[in-house]
Amino acid sequence: FKPVQQEAAAASTLAIDLIKGTTPQTNGTVHDPTGNRDVASVLLKPIAIYKNNVSEVIESGLVQKSDVCTGKVATLCTKYNVS
């Protein structure tokens, strides 16, 4: 899971740098097999989702609790304090 807000912030920063004609700051590279080249990239660290932090996905606004905590899953949401 990667919060959309972090991805959007990184993308907008890159876009602004490109518009200004400045070299964007990157933190890694990704290999493009089609062009057989390494492409400078901004790599965000994904967050592994476990029982103890599953509420982060809902708190981020990515999904609604009402969409996730239904049926058999509803009792698990209560058990793991998904709000």
Amino acid making up residue 53: N
Report the C-alpha dihedral over residues 10, 13, 62, 30, rounded to 10 degrees: -30
pLDDT in tens, the chain (83 residues): 999 999 999 999 999 999 999 999 999 999 999 999 999 999 999 999 998 888 888 988 889 999 999 999 999 999 888 87
